[in-house]
């Protein structure tokens, strides 16, 4: 898939204000500072589409972008550490949970995981939440330009070992880097194939 247009539509915390268009949606979420905004900008070929920041927790709203006028990319707040108040964190959890449990247009969630680290409890728990609620998802391993191939594979294998204790099979996964555009074609082709079944 080639991305010809990527346009911002709306930011909000109210599910009822999300776009009413019956277009397939792909949500991007991960721990704060996982490289989500950089990945979104790399995928769309637009360096300023999603706001990047060295400060974790920059994204605090549900952000809808319409891509090629036929699907939505949804940038969600990161879970885990964010330099915000406890009350605001609870609000995050509430509207994020509502989005996942009620948004019928959502066809797949991309859970971003920092490839440099051992499996993190918060990532595993979030994927368990998606699985228990029957929400399709893929794992996107980010920042792989900072590691050698053997280390990347070792870290991915560690995820498999832990997840396969409770999962029947591993979800689809992608190895990506916003720096060298690794994984761009694979993620976009995956979305393109899902769209063909949806549209």
Tell me if 1 is assigned to some domain. no
Residue 82: CATH number of its domain: 3.40.50.300
- Helices 184-198, 36-44: crossing angle, 10 deg rounding: 70
pLDDT-based confidence at residue 77 (cuts at 50, 70, 90):
confident
Other residues' Cβ atoms within 10 Å of the Cβ of residue 79: 22
Other residues' Cβ atoms within 10 Å of the Cβ of residue 137: 20
Instruction: Please check whether residue 50 is in contact with residue 76, taking contact to mean a CB–CB distance below 8 angstroms.
Output: no
Domain count for the chain, please give it: 1
11 forms beta bridges with 63
53-65: per-residue pLDDT in tens? 444 444 578 999 9
Tell me if 177 is assigned to some domain. yes
In which domain, by residue range, is 157 found? Answer: 6-198
Beta-strand pair 173-175/71-75: unpaired
Counting every residue written for the chain, the total comes to 199
111-169: per-residue pLDDT in tens? 999 999 888 888 998 999 999 999 999 999 999 998 888 998 998 999 999 999 999 99
Give phi and psi for 5, each to the nearest 5. -140, 140
Tell me if 39 is assigned to some domain. yes
The residue among 33 and 181 whose pLDDT is bigger is 181
């Amino acid at each position: 898939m080639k991305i010809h247009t990527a346009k911002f539509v709306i930011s909000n915390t109210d599910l009822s204000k999300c776009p009413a268009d019956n277009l397939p949606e792909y949500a991007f979420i991960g721990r704060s500072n996982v490289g989500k905004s950089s990945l979104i900008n790399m995928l769309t070929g637009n360096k300023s589409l999603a706001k990047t920041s060295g400060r974790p927790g920059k994204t605090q709203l549900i952000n809808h972008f319409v891509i090629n006028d036929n699907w939505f990319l949804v940038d969600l707040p990161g879970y885990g550490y964010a330099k915000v108040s406890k009350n605001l964190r609870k609000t995050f959890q509430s509207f994020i949970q509502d989005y996942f449990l009620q948004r019928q247009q959502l066809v797949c969630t991309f859970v971003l995981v920092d490839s440099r680290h051992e499996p993190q409890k918060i990532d595993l728990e979030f994927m368990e939440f998606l699985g228990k609620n029957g929400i399709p998802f893929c794992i996107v391993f980010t920042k792989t330009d900072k590691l050698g191939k053997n280390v990347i594979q070792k870290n991915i294998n560690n995820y498999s070992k832990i997840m396969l204790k409770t999962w029947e099979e591993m979800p689809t996964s992608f190895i990506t880097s916003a720096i060298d555009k690794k994984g761009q074609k694979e993620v976009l082709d995956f979305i393109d194939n899902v769209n063909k079944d949806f549209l």
